[in-house]
Amino acid sequence: MSGTGWRDPARLREALRVYVVTDERPDGAALVPIVERAIAGGATAVQLRRKQELGRRFVELGRALRDLTRRAGVLFFINDRVDVAAIVDADGVHVGQDDISCRDARRILGEDRVIGVSAETVEEAVAAERDGADYIGVGAVYPTRSKPDAGFTGLDGLSTIVSRVRIPVVAIGGIDLENAAEPMRAGASGIAVVSAVMSATDPEAATRALAARVRAARPE
């Protein structure tokens, strides 16, 4: 895979501002037009997350979203499946604490790809940075229905983690238009959302409103 330049710290921070994660709806094909509208509304990063998807279908969806994101210049991640990320030429992968390790993902994907790691605690975040993560996904910062098994970090935990690592931190969990500014004010480089966009009546308008809220909270 050729280099993409996304690991440049300044470029990566900007690309993580409005991060849309797909949901687990039964009809995976329905994700594609929603993501297309989210990108039109200002999504800066997209993650394909399908925990129950069979491998071949996962690759098909990954290729479809890879095409959309590449044409739009939007950062594209695969959740967990490092093999799928390599096959579809994703810009990177996002792994959880129980997924393949950051170090092993790096061995497979090489030095050009972005690797994000989920963390609920300072200890997990510091360990991820030490292991070579490019950014940390921290949450849940609010209670969330999209991932009911997620641990709770809260805004205070988010702020503490931001103060302890040098790499970008993305807030996730229960974020919507009403509270989107708060994680940014706590120091996050960006917000990651699922239902706030994926379940919106108008995904483009929902994303545009979130992007405006993020810019207002962290205009720099």
CA angle 126, 14, 191 (to 5 degrees): 65
Whether 7 is catalytic: no
Q: For residues 94 and 91, give the distance between their C-alpha atoms in angstroms, rounded to a whole number.
A: 10
Whether 118 is catalytic: yes
Residue type, 198: M
Is residue 147 within 8 Å of residue 159, measured between CB atoms? no
Per the residue annotation, which of 37, 118, 208, 213 is the catalytic one?
118
Rg (CA), the chain: 16
Per the residue annotation, which of 17, 147, 208, 213 is the catalytic one?
147
Whether 147 is catalytic: yes
Q: For residues 138 and 119, give the distance between their C-alpha atoms in angstroms, rounded to a whole number.
A: 5
Per the residue annotation, which of 13, 17, 49, 106 is the catalytic one?
49
Which positions are annotated as active-site residues?
Answer: 49, 118, 147
